[in-house]
A and B are shown apart, each in its own frame.
Chain A
Amino acid sequence: MFPAKDTPTSLSNNNQERVVFPRAPDFSHAREAIVLSTERSVALGAVDLHKSYGATKANRGISLSVMRGEIHAIVGENGAGKSTLMRMLQGVERPDSGHVVIADKPVVLNGPAEALALSIGMVHQEFMLAPDLTLLENLVLGEEPVTRQLGPLSRIDWAKALREGQGLAESIGAQIDWQRRTSSVPVHILQFVEIIRLLRRGCNVLILDEPTAVLAPPQVEELFDLLRNLRANGTTILFISHKIGEVMALADQVTVIRQGKTVFHSTIAETTGPEIASHIVRDAPPLETSPPPSRTVTGEPVLELDGLSARSLEKSQSLDNISLQVRAGEILGIAGVSGNGQGELAECIAGLRDTSAGNIILQGADITGETTLARRNRGLAYVSADRRHEGLTTAASIETNVIAGSHRAPPITRGGILSRKNLRQEASKRLAALKVVFGKVTDPADSLSGGNQQKLVFARESADNPKLMIASQPTRGVDLNGIAAIHGLLRDFRDQGGAVLLASEELDELIALSDRVVVIFEGRLVGEVTSPAGAMAQIGQMMVQGDAA
């Protein structure tokens, strides 16, 4: 292992120092020979990349060498410059200085199409698949095999498309029912389809942007098996992640980016998780990873759901007969794979989605038919999972965002007149209370980092002494410092007698924060864990299978 300042800038130097890794056991000899002969070449790399957006220096010297046939992980906080690097590697952005290296040669990319032509493909966090088409149609979309070249009269050769899809799926050990409609397929299968689509287009270098963010633990395992098979077939993988555990489990090499620079690079064999972590964050408060001591919650019930059901609208998950209770001074975690109804449940409680049966009781009062405003006046706070579109209005000013909802209350509005001065005072007070870092209160909320945006949301939602906080994916897209701060806020709120309903796809987070965890699967509650610490496997099982078998 060597820190970044020692990273050799010459690519050939770097190659000589490389350590060759043992391969997957099922590795065929013929393949190995081919791979070994090209192994010392750089499939995808960067030399001293710089990129600025106005005054913001997003990348300030990033060097990277992804060796052919390896899995290379890039880790770093949000805002460390990973996305900018990806955009340059993909040709979406041009570097201000430095250059991108593909297959040992410096290249100038003018767009993703050129990267694709050089066999570089990217799997984005949000999949680029048309939901109403079948998987097969999505596979060939844009590059359909045709029976005869007749210009606009060509017919698509579906039999050939299917053969291609099946062949590629088999080669990486995935099973895919190509005739299914895309919207009905679980998310990890969609990811496989994205990968196969790139393979079909001849990509031998894949960039995966936080591929595990939407997956449940068993699905992550499936993905990792598939990626290892890909590596065995000679595909190079650049893997972007937040999660050190995954990097240690999967990658051959790791590069850490902090504040737009490469600060660390090592083979996985020569480093440790804590060492990587120490390079990702400097000056970060240690995350409280040990779960809280088992507490007995004796507070009054704040939220009670009694047989709550909701119909499915526009592809949303329906909810079926959900009953639960959250007491004062308690964090109730809701575990579930994305799309199993946790978001819909939060929306029902917040009054943003119609229910079809059952009751929602807040502090003894039935609020089932009440408006969102009435619920908020009773002490409900809602931290949306969709921070950029529901939690905030990114184009509006910071002060508007932190005040919205309280803008009719005194002292901001008195006698029908909204006082800009009082609004600004109250906004500054709220922002200061949660230590939100911002430029000016009139700047758009978009100017804040992810963590500060979320703190702004908490500053707004916690301002009116709520009794119940619905927190949906509260740390999604938030850096480690921000996560620590938000966890602190949730714990403080709980300790001061607040009730929290916490929906999160991060099992670690649920276990670290929750006093109890319930598991939601296809819109039903399928289990409850009263002491979440150490129950990760049990919860993961229920999340995927719907029971604890």
Chain B
Amino acid sequence: MSSSIASRSIGILLPLVVSLIVSGVVLLVIGKNPLDVFSLIATESFGNARRIAATLSAATPLLFTAVATAVCFRSGVFNVGVEGAFLVGGLAAVFLGFTLPAAWGFALFPICFFAAALIGAIWLYVPGILLAKFEVDEVVSTLMLNFIAVAITGYLVNGPLLSPLSGNNVTPLIHEVAYLPRLMPPSTLHAGFLIGLVCVAAYGFWCRYTPAGFEGGLIGLNQRFSRAVGISVPRTIVGVMILSGVIAGIGGAAHGMGQMHRFSDGFSPGYGFTGMAVALLGRNHPIGIVLGAILFGALASAGTTIQLFSNIPLDLVNIIQGTVMIFAVVELGRISLRRKKGTANAG
């Protein structure tokens, strides 16, 4: 047990350390003191309550997308379509948020979230059933669905749902009553962060204390074994895809109703993909996911302000983020190798 915790912490820390070294070298080359820059990043992201709130706010969508990814990855299903489900879920929630009568008040919350979850579920059910029944490679189908999601939502916000009052590419604002409450005004940290934490906790519970979570973990390790002990692999695959869609959809709704209050062309700057990096970095473990989301949130929130206070380019923060992702993805290579062999490495 202790060795697994140790290896897990190494798995989380190693990409971070390597990426710090890499960006340190880059900084030296452009003539900056790496330690100064790193301490600036740390202050900018965790220096005081306001900055911490900004970091957590940036981490919020990642909690959802990382959990949605982890649900599938731990079951050996390489769903890269969380981004698409996040988009369609967010648009569904926002659409209902400005279409339904404002007089419905708080009833809008459950309605919008339910609609987002439903459409997210349907969105990923399709590649799930294609994989389970026809062995259509899920990486290809979910990746393609992302493009479709971007195109559909892009068309809608530029056409039928375009706000008559605003400029380009945005829907009208949702009713104010449907805004998720802010936790620490004036920061944008909103109740979606708490919903995200609940999702992470529910995911942890699902893994350990539900038969479906038990089965998901088993098919991720060994499909032949799972089949032989009577687990339906196709049903489990479809199940985790639906679950992933539900969580991604809820994430989109929380982002729409808590942060953006409308849907726009740049609704998600790749939260689904950053979520994959977070899930990989956190080794699909709930605590790892929370830490990973906060790390990426910190880099994102520091990046936007750091440029204002020093002459360090934003690109540098992106370099750090990129190297963390690369080294987190090294793990992906190992998982997919394991899946091809049908089992963990034989001793």
Contacts and interface: CB of A to CB of B under 8 A. Distances in A.
A128 to B, nearest CB: 16
Contact of A417 (B1, B210, B215, B345): B210
Contact of A418 (B211, B221, B342): B211
B347 A389 contact: no
Given A389-B225, A400-B218, A373 B230 contact: yes
B347 A372 contact: no
Interface in B302-347: 342-347
A416 B210 contact: yes
B228 A384 contact: yes
A394 B221 CA distance: 9
Contacts of A372: 227-230
A405 B229 contact: yes
Contacts, number: 85
B209 A420 contact: yes
Contacts of A418: 208-211, 213-214
Given A407-B215, A418-B214, A393 B230 contact: no
A371 interface: yes
A311 interface: no
A389 B230 CA distance: 15
A437 interface: no
Contacts of A87: none
A269 interface: no
Counting chain A CB atoms within 10 Å of each CB, which of B211, B218, B225, B232 scores highest? Answer: B225
Contact of B229 (A389, A395, A404, A420): A404
Nearest to B221: A393
A90 B215 CA distance: 41
B226 A395 contact: no
Contact of B232 (A373, A388, A390, A405): A373
Range, interface on chain A: 20 to 34
A8 B215 CA distance: 57
A264 B55 CA distance: 69
A419 B214 CA distance: 11
A382 interface: yes
B209 A371 contact: no
Q: Interface extent on B, as a size class? A: 20 to 34
A367 to B, nearest CB: 13
Given A407-B214, A418-B210, A376 B230 contact: yes
Interface in A438-471: 442, 446, 460
A232 interface: no
A373 B228 CA distance: 9
A446 B347 contact: yes
Contacts of A417: 209-210
A393 B222 contact: yes
A334 to B, nearest CB: 18
Interface string A374-414: 01110000101010111111111000100011011000010
A42 interface: no
A413 B208 CA distance: 12
A350 interface: yes
Given A404-B218, A405-B229, A407-B214, A394 B1 contact: no
A226 B344 CA distance: 38
28 contacts: A352-B227, A372-B228, A372-B229, A376-B230, A377-B230, A388-B346, A389-B342, A390-B228, A393-B218, A393-B221, A394-B344, A395-B343, A395-B344, A395-B345, A396-B222, A400-B214, A404-B214, A405-B229, A405-B231, A407-B211, A407-B215, A413-B211, A416-B210, A418-B208, A418-B211, A419-B209, A442-B1, A446-B344
Given A418-B209, A418-B213, 10 more contacts: A371-B230, A375-B230, A382-B228, A384-B228, A391-B225, A393-B225, A395-B345, A404-B218, A418-B211, A460-B229
Interface of A: 350, 352, 371-373, 375-377, 382, 384, 386, 388-396, 400, 404-405, 407-408, 413, 416-420, 442, 446, 460
Interface pairs A-B: 10 shortest CB-CB: A395-B344, A405-B229, A373-B230, A393-B222, A390-B224, A404-B229, A376-B230, A393-B225, A408-B211, A372-B230
Interface of B: 1, 208-211, 213-215, 217-218, 221-222, 224-232, 342-347
